[in-house]
Amino acid sequence: MKKIYINACGTISSIGNDILSMYKNALNPENNFLTPDDTIIKGKKFYFAKVKTALEQIKNTKYNIRANRLLLNCVSQIKSEIDNAIKKYGQKRVGVVIGTTNSGVDEYALTGNIDYSQIGNPAGFLHNYLDLKGYYSGVSCACTSGTKAFSSAKKLLENDICDAVITGATDALCKLPSYGFHSLEVLSNEPCNPFSKNRKGINIGEGAAIFLLEKEKSSSCLASIVSIGETSDAYHCATPDPEGVEAAAAMQTALDEAGLKYSDIDYINLHGTATLTNDLMEANAVYKIFKNNVAVSSTKSLTGHCLGACAAVETALCLGIINKNINKEGFLLPHKFDGAYDDTLPRLNLVKYGQKAQNIKYIMNNSFGFGGSNTSMIICREEE
C-alpha cells in the first residue's frame, strides 16, 4: 500500500484547542459541550456546539471571516512544521486544499462583500497567509468535504504535483445552513442522541483542522493515510439510501485499496448524525461489512455536526486514539448517548466510556454527505 504521512495537525472545536485537549475532553463523561441557543434560529431554542476560544482577527479584510480565523488558530499550532516544509520544498511545491460548506456566507449577508461567500476563500487565505506560489483549491461537497480535501491532497502528492500539501477543512456556525436543516426538521432541541430510539436530529457545531501531508515521514509523524474509499449514489438530494449500498461500497473500497480485511480495523468513527435516516443508513452499511465485530462510535454528540469540517475534526480526534504519545492507555472514543439503542437498527458495537483496545493500528473514519457523497478513510499508526 502507498502511504501518505500526516506529519502535523492543528485543530480546534467546541471540545478543545488541539488534539490532546480534544481527545482528553472526549473521554470525560461529565463534559458537555453542546449549549442551547435561540438567536441563530430566532425565537427557537436548539442545541449547538460553539467554539468559545477568542480568535485572532485577520489583517487582510478579504479573508477576515470566522471560518478563516478558526483556520489561523490551527496554523499557529503547527507553524514551525509548515515553515520547515516550505523551506525544504519551496513555495511552489507546497499545495493547499481546504474543504468548507459555509465559508463566510453570514459575513457576506451582513456586508455584501462577495469575497466572503467564495468557497475557495479559506484555501486562498492560507495560500496568501503562508506566501505560497503553487496549487491551491477549495472543496465543497457537504459533509464529506473534509475527506474529499484529503483525497485531492493525496492525488496531488501521488502525481508529483506537490511535495507537501496543507489540507483540512473549516466551518463556522452559520444561519443559512441552520435554517436549511430547520426546514428539513432535523435540528434537535436537546443534545443529539446518535443511534438511540429517542434521537431527534442534529446539533450543528463549528471547528477546523489542518494537516501537513507529505510523501516522506518526518520525526513528528502522527499517522499515515493508507486509503480513501469514495462512492456516490443518486437516491435523493437530502436523504440517504436506507440500505446504505454505496456507503458500504465506500468502506469496502477503502479496505480493498489498503489490502486489508474487515478484521484488521480496530475502530470506526461513524458519521452518526442522530437523524432518523442517516443512522438507519449507516447502521445498515456498517453491518453489511463488519457485522458488530468492530468497536464504533459517533463523536457528534461531543463536537456537534461541523458540516464541511466534520471529517477533518473527527480525523484529528482519531489521531488522538492512534498516536501512543497521546493515548498511552489505549482508550477509544466513547459513544455518548442515552443508552436506549434503536432495536430496529442492526446492532453495532458502540464504544462505552472507559473502553480500551490493545495495539490500535488501523482506524476507519466515515463521512456521508447530501447528494449521495460517501467517503471512508483509513489511517494507520506509524511506529516510532
Catalytic machinery residues: 143, 271, 305
Q: How far apart are CA 284 and CA 282, in angstroms?
A: 5
What does the DSSP assignment read for 74-100?
HHHHSHHHHHHHHHHH-TTSEEEEEE-
* Residue (of 31, 19, 20, 101) closest to 302 by Cα position: 31
Q: Which residue has the cell 491532497?
A: 153
Torsion of CA 235, 240, 243, 247, to 10 degrees: 100
Rg for the chain, CA atoms, rounded: 19
CA triple 15-17-19, angle to 5 deg: 85
Three-state SS across 207-228?
A: EEEEEEEECCCCCCCCEEEEEE
What does the DSSP assignment read for 93-154?
SEEEEEE-S-TTHHHHHHH--GGGG-TTHHHHHHHHHTT--S-EEEE-BTBTHHHHHHHHHH
Provide the grid cell at 143: 459533509
State the CB neighbour count (10 A cutoff) for residue 365: 26
Provide the grid cell at 28: 470525560
Provide the grid cell at 194: 446518535
| 144 neighbors 371 (Cβ within 8 angstroms) | no
User: Helix 66-77 vs helix 79-89: angle between axes, to the nearest 10 degrees?
Assistant: 80
Instruction: Count H helices and E strands in the chain, helices first.
Output: 11, 14
3-state class (DSSP) for residue 230: strand
Position 256, amino acid:
D
